[in-house]
Amino acid sequence: MVTVCFFTGAYNCIMTCARTGGILMPPKGKWDICPEEKGRMSIMNKKVLGTAAAAAAAGGAVYAASKVKKQAQAQGMRREKESLQPRNYGDKQVYLVGGGLASMAAAAYLVRDANFDGHNIHILESMDVLGGSNDGAGSVQQGFVCRGGRMLNEETYEKYPFHFQLQIIYEVFQNQCRVTWKVKNMDDKTMYFQIGGHPAFACPCEGGMIRDDYSVRAGESPLLEVAFLENGLLSNEKELHSNEFVLEEDTFARDAFILQNETIGRLELVNHLSNQVKVRVSADVPAWGIWSTADKKAPFVCLEPWYGRCDKEDFEGELSEREYMQSLESGEEFTGGYLMELL
């Protein structure tokens, strides 16, 4: 084994060449070589030294280029910082309306990037808790509550004239996630509502597979009645379909599949080549939706449990008259939800 070491300033370039016979060492700057190897080694040394020198030069060039780039970046950041340091905003004040994440992020960037005095930044919030729709409280043991009620204002009450409280609870354990909805009527009149989930799952969910290798299986009944959407409303047209929906390119050409059957109980994402269930969504709901984007082969599919659905295309009745409508008297609470399993 021949080891040649170069000490070029701060760099060490070590090259190892396979050899049989003598060992080449550089004590005190001189080469000490076995006499019988001298002739062959003189040629070998020139090649090794030449290759090592080229490698050292290339490595040095790469390092030098990298160093110059880093210096330029550091210099640019230094100039930017120096331009902000002496900036004097005087007695200017900044007022941010709403204590949500956007206002808090804006305040942080003003301090960090603009060197603005934090004492002159004011966040105006009518409530006693900051964080906007993402404010929350709780613990790992009892869970966390995210209020998210700020979108309920006069404009939304004109469209949906009910005061309510919605609590969504997520419980994760091993390969399962349980979602629980709790809806409470906070109004002094009967409240009408519908609620549903929109969980989406990666598909394909295994390496080497394509979306066409999967299907969605709905319950146990081999034949189901399926409805479709027409301009966002439920079409009066229905057809019989097997309970296996193969995810081909044109599967969702007519938008979502609407299944109105209380006995279905679950939707499963199945690798139909191996007949293995990969995802299961279970719920006791009156309707289900199966959806993905049309003609795009998007890498996901939605398995949706619904306590209700959209109106029929010819429906002209009152809110309380909609099919699958849920209702609560004043002070009453509804509890529902679904279970997701990754198998």
In-domain check, residue 145:
no
Do residues 73 and 101 both lie within one domain? no
Integer angstrom CA distances of residue 167 from 79, 181, 283: 50, 6, 18
CB 178 within 8 A of CB 171: yes
Q: What is the CATH number of the domain that holds 326?
A: 2.70.98.10
Sign of CA dihedral 106, 108, 112, 118: positive
In terms of domains, do 243 and 338 share one? yes
Domain of residue 38, residue span:
2-81
pLDDT in tens, 159-211: 889 988 888 888 898 999 999 999 999 999 999 999 999 999 999 888 888 88
Residue from 298, 304, 307 nearest 326 by CA: 307
Best CA proximity match to 205, nearest among 261, 268, 147, 264: 268
Q: What is the mean pLDDT of residues 314-335?
A: 93
Which pLDDT belongs to residue 135?
Answer: 62
Structural domains of the chain, count: 3
What residue spans of the chain are helical by DSSP H? Answer: 38-84, 101-114, 154-159
Residue 306 burial (CB < 10 Å; 0-12/13-18/19+)? buried
**Is 142 part of a structural domain of the chain?**
no
Same domain, 321 and 175: yes
Mean predicted confidence (pLDDT) in 209-238: 88
Contacts of 21 (CB under 8 A, 6+ apart): 34, 36, 37
- Clarify whether residues 175 and 279 are in a common domain: yes
User: Is the pLDDT confidence value at 115 over 50?
Assistant: yes
Indicate the DSSP class of residue 310: P
pLDDT digits (tens, 9 = 90+) for 129-160: 766 666 666 777 766 666 656 667 788 888 88
Smallest CA-to-CA distance from 7 within 56, 42, 46 is with 56
Q: Could you give phi then psi for residue 286, rounded to 5 degrees?
A: -80, -15
Q: How far is CA 79 from CA 21, 45, 74, 108, 280, in A?
A: 59, 49, 9, 21, 56
pLDDT tens per residue across span 78-98: 776 666 565 788 889 999 998
pLDDT tens across 259-317, in order?
988 889 999 999 989 999 999 999 999 999 999 988 767 899 999 999 998 898 888 89
Whether 88 is in a domain gets the answer no
- Confidence band of 42 (pLDDT split at 50, 70, 90): low
Residue 296 in domain: yes
- Asked if 61 and 210 sit in the same domain, the reply is no
- Does residue 259 share a domain with residue 170? yes
Q: Is the pLDDT of residue 45 over 80?
A: no
Residues 338 and 307 sit within 8 Å (Cβ to Cβ): no
Contact status, residue 136 vs residue 147, Cβ threshold 8 Å: yes
Check whether residue 111 and residue 235 sit in a common domain.
Answer: no
Q: Which residue has the higher pLDDT, 252 or 64?
A: 252
Q: Using CA atoms, how far apart are residues 47 and 229, in angstroms rounded to an integer?
A: 76
